[in-house]
Structure 1
């Protein structure tokens, strides 16, 4: 089970106009075909404890700055997977994310399935609004890459 970093292949203008950052990781899993929602639920529905701990620490640190601590803070009536509101959904693609004071982000989960395997791609898009957003992104990027790879492993 190999996770590869690939060139992002999503329509940035459609999912997050102005996104300055994008990355994508892909895993191929054997077995019956899955849809994008199932892949997203496996990835984001039950994170490992160490990721939960990082998220809790992040929430404590950003709360004084008025940042959202989950998609539920967006006061959205949208359904959610984990802490992320669903923005758009088809069997092949699920888009999650929300907008905040410092940056907006989207996670795009794409699934291409054959009868014996599925390729699952997680693409992250980020549009920063200010210096704080750019600093925040720089600080979390090393963790982000590790977290995305770990979460993709949960799809398998």
Structure 2
């Protein structure tokens, strides 16, 4: 199902500088059918339309983790435009850095700092995640959700590709 998505071990983006001692990092790459898209447009097209089961799972997650002090925000992208600028909200994330070839969004609470990079490289897009847990609760949560992250990240990218948004 995810044969078009390549998992990278070495990630050529700006997130590595943000990694702390205990962190989770992954990166997924897929070939673009529309290589003229900007990193902002790619982020919008990948995350604006989630598979229904992902939306339901994220709602359930929000209800469960709010009790433990995790930030819970809006799951879907709701910006007025697909051209995002630093400070714009994109779902539960805020755009924190923007470069011609890469956009970095972030969210932080007392338990963890989460970063998402969408980097355009030639005719591909690399979507990478960095999570820096800050507390024991953050580390426990991260380890509990990793199997879901693996499936959700690939499903969301696959969904965008199959729908012709990439």
**TM-score normalised by L of structure 2:** 0.80
* Structure 2: tracts of 5 or more residues without a match: 76-85
The 1-side partners of 2:35 and 2:115 are apart by: 27
Cα distance, 1:24 vs structure 2: 0.4
Count of aligned pairs? 147
* 1:86 paired residue among 71, 95, 103: 95
Which residue matches 2:136?
131
CA-based RMSD of the aligned residues comes to 2.1
Q: Show the counterpart of 2:81.
A: none
Runs (4+) of structure 1 moved beyond 2 Å?
8-14
Q: Partners of 1:143 and 1:57 in 2: how far apart? A: 13
Q: How does 1:1-156 map to 2 (within 5 A)?
A: 2-7=4-9, 8-12=11-15, 14=17, 16-18=18-20, 20-70=23-73, 78-113=87-122, 118-153=123-158, 154=160, 155-156=165-166
TM-score if structure 1 supplies the norm length? 0.85
**Bigger share in strand:** 1
